[in-house]
Amino acid sequence: MLVDFNTLPETSRVWIYQANRSFSETELTEIKAKLDVFIENWTAHGSDLKASYEIKYKRFIVFGLDQTISAASGCSIDDSVKFIMDLEQAYKVDLLDKMNVSYKQGEFIAYKSLIDFRKMAKDKAVSKKTIVFNNLVANKAEYLENWEVPASESWHSRFIK
């Protein structure tokens, strides 16, 4: 059951998929239509899931699931990953590679491999104040409070002296 993302409780589970590039306006329109259909039909053991999504900065797909009604099952999570894999194939984009880092460079979103980000930190090209995206947040409250944070407040801090 597709609901407005803003109506999901803060305890809702979230999954964040970052793209290695921005989506075009045409791609965003198509992806939103596909997401609407997927979320509307997403179930766990035959029960509807009260869920939503949002797309941030034309490159992050965020799923939200209110688990107070029905929790995600292994199969429903597998279904969502398969859906994301289908998007990867259709739009020639990486969404599942967790070995990459997205961060803000002024008003732009930069995307680097973890190896390149570590090198940039060593070379002082990024700092503790660099805004990074902590895609490891687990629920909507963490997403709203701790997703876009200075590197010093994220797991990225281990690379920055």
Token couple for 119: 């090198």
- pLDDT at site 71: 85
Phi, psi of 121 (to 5 degrees): -65, -45
- pLDDT at site 45: 84
Whole-model pTM: value is 0.94
- Could you give the CA distance from residue 62 to residue 75 in angstroms, rounded to a whole number? 19
Amino acid letter at 90?
A
C-beta of residue 104 within 8 angstroms of C-beta of residue 57: no
- pLDDT at site 42: 93
List, for residues 85-118, the tens digit of each pLDDT value: 999 999 999 999 988 999 999 889 999 999 999 9
- pLDDT at site 79: 95
List, for residues 15-57, the tens digit of each pLDDT value: 999 999 999 999 999 999 999 999 999 988 888 899 999 999 9
Task: Give the H/E segment covering residue 150.
Answer: strand 148-150
C-beta of residue 85 within 8 angstroms of C-beta of residue 38: no
Q: Where are the alpha helices (DSSP H) in 61-160?
A: 74-91, 114-122, 140-146
List, for residues 62-88, the tens digit of each pLDDT value: 999 999 988 888 899 999 999 999 999
